[in-house]
């Protein structure tokens, strides 16, 4: 098939809101997914732009600053592995193909249901024509938010679009703030107060495995940890990385700029023994 025919085929698929072609996504390694546990006691990083040029947090719009997120499909079947394909279009309507490497990848795709369950962090591969593809499996029906997080010409951008999964669905209540979250043999303990105050705060987490502190965390995406924070309700997106100069041993620390008071769901990821450990936390922010 010629390149022109492939582009025409993709465009027709978008108009018809139909499937994506086969491809292979980037496998990072086994993933431990976690859950909150009962409450306990417990300047050199990267922080994404808190507000865009229009004064809104990232991830709320499908188009921003001349860039548009165009998915090939807008629905998927629950429990059935599928391909998720999309493009990022420029002002001329053509697919962008020159992306910057940010946090070891040219594209980060975050997928989460609108009740802040079912979190996935994927790294698609780009075809020569600018189409990004990744395998995607969604276990439950509902409406999911898909965030494309990338950098183009030195500007970090997060665009978001909904993906519907038909079927009978409920809505899980957001868990209350808790000091610890577990994933398999791992426990991650958040240090500091459960309620954060002000527009900026520092979050610290300690990694424990089988009761012992983990002092040999491996780099993940160019850092010792990765944190995504989403605001309850509209799913405003925060993307933060550790304070490298303040991170040592079993602790990972982040500086977070909160766009507003409210409750946020945090998804913390660290790497140990070749395994990506993902644990969620709920944080309340007050003015």
Question: 86 and 193, same structural domain?
Answer: no
Question: 75 and 192, same structural domain?
Answer: no
Question: 106 and 70, same structural domain?
Answer: yes
User: How far is the CA of 281 from the CAs of 94, 142, 160, 245, in angstroms?
Assistant: 39, 21, 22, 24
The better pLDDT of the pair 256, 11 is held by 256
Residue 47 counted as domain residue: no
* Mean pLDDT for all residues in the chain: 84
User: How far is the CA of 173 from the CAs of 44, 115, 169, 177, 219, in angstroms?
Assistant: 35, 7, 13, 12, 33
Residue 275 counted as domain residue: yes
pLDDT at 241: 65
Question: 143 and 7, same structural domain?
Answer: yes
Q: How far apart, in whole angstroms, are the C-alpha atoms of residue 249 and residue 172?
A: 35
Q: How far apart, in whole angstroms, are the C-alpha atoms of residue 196 and residue 140?
A: 32
Residue 43 counted as domain residue: no
The continuous run of DSSP H or E covering 279 comes out as strand 275-286
Mean pLDDT within 17-27: 33
Question: 189 and 282, same structural domain?
Answer: yes
Q: How far apart, in whole angstroms, are the C-alpha atoms of residue 175 and residue 282?
A: 7
Residue 30 tokens, joined: 């086994």
The better pLDDT of the pair 33, 248 is held by 248
Confidence class for position 31, pLDDT limits 50, 70, 90: low
Question: 139 and 18, same structural domain?
Answer: yes
Confidence class for position 15, pLDDT limits 50, 70, 90: very low
Question: 224 and 161, same structural domain?
Answer: no
> How many domains, the chain?
2
Question: 75 and 204, same structural domain?
Answer: no
Confidence class for position 239, pLDDT limits 50, 70, 90: low
What is the separation of C-alpha 280 from the centre of its chain, rounded to a whole number of angstroms? Answer: 12
Q: Residue 171: exposed, middle, or buried by beta-carbon count in 10 A (0-12, 13-18, 19+)?
A: exposed
Question: 245 and 151, same structural domain?
Answer: no
Confidence class for position 120, pLDDT limits 50, 70, 90: very high
Question: 106 and 191, same structural domain?
Answer: no
Residue 147, pLDDT above cutoff 50: yes
The better pLDDT of the pair 169, 109 is held by 109
pLDDT at 244: 72
Domain enclosing residue 7, as ranges: 3-27+53-165
Question: 189 and 99, same structural domain?
Answer: no
DSSP state of 106: S
Question: 161 and 94, same structural domain?
Answer: yes
pLDDT at 35: 67
Q: Where are the beta strands (DSSP E) in 192-225?
A: 195-197, 200-209, 212-213
Residue 82, pLDDT above cutoff 50: yes
Residue 256 counted as domain residue: yes
Residue 45, pLDDT above cutoff 80: no
């Amino acid at each position: 098939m010629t390149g022109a025919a492939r582009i025409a085929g993709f465009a027709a698929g978008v108009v018809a809101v139909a499937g994506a072609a086969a491809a292979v996504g980037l496998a990072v390694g086994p993933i431990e997914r976690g859950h909150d546990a009962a409450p306990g006691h417990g300047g050199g990083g990267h922080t994404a732009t808190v507000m865009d040029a229009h004064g809104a947090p990232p991830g709320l719009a499908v188009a921003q600053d001349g860039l548009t997120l165009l998915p090939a499909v807008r629905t998927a079947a629950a429990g059935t592995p599928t391909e998720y394909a999309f493009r990022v279009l420029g002002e001329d309507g053509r697919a962008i193909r020159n992306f910057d490497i940010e946090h070891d990848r040219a594209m980060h795709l975050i997928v989460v249901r609108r009740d802040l369950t079912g979190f996935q962090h994927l790294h698609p591969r780009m075809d020569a024509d600018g189409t990004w593809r990744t395998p995607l499996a969604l276990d439950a029906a509902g409406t999911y938010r898909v965030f494309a997080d990338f950098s183009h010409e030195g500007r970090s951008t997060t665009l978001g679009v909904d993906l519907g999964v038909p079927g009978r669905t409920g809505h899980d209540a957001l868990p209350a703030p808790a000091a610890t979250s577990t994933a398999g043999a791992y426990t991650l303990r958040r240090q500091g107060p459960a309620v954060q105050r002000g527009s900026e705060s520092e979050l610290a987490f300690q990694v424990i495995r089988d009761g012992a502190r983990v002092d040999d965390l491996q780099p993940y995406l160019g850092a010792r940890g990765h944190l995504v924070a989403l605001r309850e309700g509209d799913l405003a997106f925060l993307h933060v990385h550790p304070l490298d100069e303040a991170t040592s041993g079993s602790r990972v620390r982040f500086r977070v700029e909160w766009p507003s008071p409210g409750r946020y769901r945090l998804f913390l990821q660290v790497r140990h023994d070749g395994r990506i450990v993902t644990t969620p936390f709920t944080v309340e922010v007050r003015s």
